[in-house]
Amino acid sequence: MTDANRPARSLPGPAALAIAAVLGTAVTFVVDMGLLWWAALIIGVVVAFAFVGLTRNMVPEEFRSGADGTREEGTALHNTLVVPIALALSVAGGLLSAWLLDLQLIEPVAAALGGLIGSALAFVLFHRLGAMLALSFAAVMVAGVIATAVTAAVLFFSGIPPTATFARMLEYGTRPDSMVQIINDSTTYYLAAVAVAIGFKMKLFNIGVDGQYRLAALLAAAVGGYLIMPPVISQIVVIVTAVAVGGAWAGIAGYLKVARGVSEVISTIMLNAIATGITAYLLSTDRLAVQISTNNIGTPPMEESSWVPGIPAGFLGSDHKIFGLVFLAAAVGVAYSVMLNRTRFGFELRATGQSQSAAEASGVNVKKMVFLSMLFSGMVAGLVGLPQLLGSSHYYALDFPTGIGFIGIAIALLGRNHPVGIVFAALFWSFLNQAAGILPFDAIPQEIAVIAQATIVLTVVVVYEVVHRWGRRYQQQQIGRQLDGTVETTGGGEAK
């Protein structure tokens, strides 16, 4: 709609946001008196979304541009893709918020606050969600539907009722204690996925995260167990040790890549095997280990001064604690995002990943970038075992968790190497792992979760590739239209 066709009235952006939020909250609160809370919330958010759509032309232009600055409202793509995705995300955000708030608040208040959050999201997403990001969300939704259908088909042909199985998993996975375990598992998965994602951004496949974090955890646990240090200093020393060991071990692969042209896939696989051998050699009572129990040996338990206190999860209704290093994982995610999008190193890293020859022609030291990428990837990998080490076990033993590095590869692919996308991918992966724990008690194979995980990763990779190709064509068409408009405007001006 052109400026000439726009209504004479205008509605300031903050005022429109406030009206939508109040309207959605009020409708949710009133309807909740006669319907279930989730139905009332959906109706409230839909009403707020309808208000936003009806008043969209009254909102100033600065509030109606996508996050990347593009102006897409009113286009066919916005109406057919962005609007439905924005509505679905608004409703989902409101429902999730209300469900979490209901753990501490009474149901009417939780539903009203969920309606408030969902209605605010309706305004923000309607005006700010870009077509490409909406397309990414659509791809995830499609992948989820396909994975669910495949898993349901496997259950059905195995003689197991799919609906009852999914309901059982959902019920068990949303219990308070299960949610704490999901968050704790997600913390380690997130760190592993970020370590892998740093390499992926450079088109490097750091398959050695598993060996890097296990060796780092072992040596960090040994330092923390044998050296008695004051609080804070002890935690810092353990963390620095883990980062240094992980970075040094990955740096070997980086050096071989730039100095001898050895594929990082081959070198990191070999380094995984070497790390396993070194770990087995050092984890002996003749060297770094002591007897932990009758059937277990490990490094000396760290003094309490080296522990990182957990976060009480009473707000989730659980007596268990969330790993305190969840804040470290969050800091790593923020640093990863800032590094990629706000620094010269991040720009050169992405540029080199897109085209090494073009980056080199632009003055980028490609060999240096390859080495540093592997180094930083390994440094983050060194942190993977610390939430478990400092928050729960307090020593490295034979039963220390393994295989997290390979899970990180799947989660990085699922989250598309995006710091926020990896969060949801890690939570989803952890949920499936935890929810599947109840299945053996119902005589249902626990491998159902593995089928769902593998299917959704494969589907997301395929769907995203299709989306990426379509997106590039769409962007080229948009640029072509803009250039045509510029040429026409310039030509018209010369004619005058």
Model pLDDT for residues 24-37, shown as the tens digit of each residue: 999 999 999 888 99
Who has greater pLDDT, 485 or 436?
436
Does 123 lie in the same domain as 183? no
122 in the same domain as 223: no
pLDDT band at 112 (very low <50, low <70, confident <90, very high): very high
Q: Say which range, 294-298, 452-456, 489-493, has the weakest mean pLDDT.
A: 489-493
Angle formed at CA 39 by CA 36 and CA 40, multiple of 5 degrees: 85
Task: For residue 170, tell me if it sits in a domain.
Answer: no
Q: What is the pLDDT of residue 493?
A: 54
- What are the backbone angles phi and psi of residue 445, rounded to the nearest 5°? -60, 130
| Structural domain contains residue 161 | no
Its domain, for residue 69, covers 13-129
Q: Are residues 399 and 271 in the same domain?
A: yes
Q: Please report whether residue 464 resides in a domain.
A: no
CB atoms within 10 A of CB 154: 17
Tell me, yes or no, whether 139 lies in a domain.
no
CA–CA dist 463, 472 (Å, integer) = 14
State the DSSP string of 425-465.
HHHHHHHHHHHGGGGGGGT--TTHHHHHHHHHHHHHHHHHH
Q: Are residues 93 and 237 in the same domain?
A: no
Same domain (yes/no): 260, 349: yes
Which of 421, 443, 465 is the endpoint of a domain? Answer: 443
Q: Are the beta carbons of 39 and 31 closer than 8 angstroms?
A: yes
Residue 456 in any domain: the answer is no
> How many Å apart are CA 308 and CA 379, to the nearest integer?
20
For residue 493, being part of any structural domain is answered with no
Task: Place 225 in a pLDDT band, splitting at 50, 70 and 90.
Answer: very high
Number of domains in the chain: 2
Q: What is the pTM of this model?
A: 0.86
Does 93 share its domain with 188? Answer: no
Q: What is the CATH number of the domain that holds 214?
A: 1.10.3470.10
Residue 455: inside a domain? no
188 lies in some domain? yes
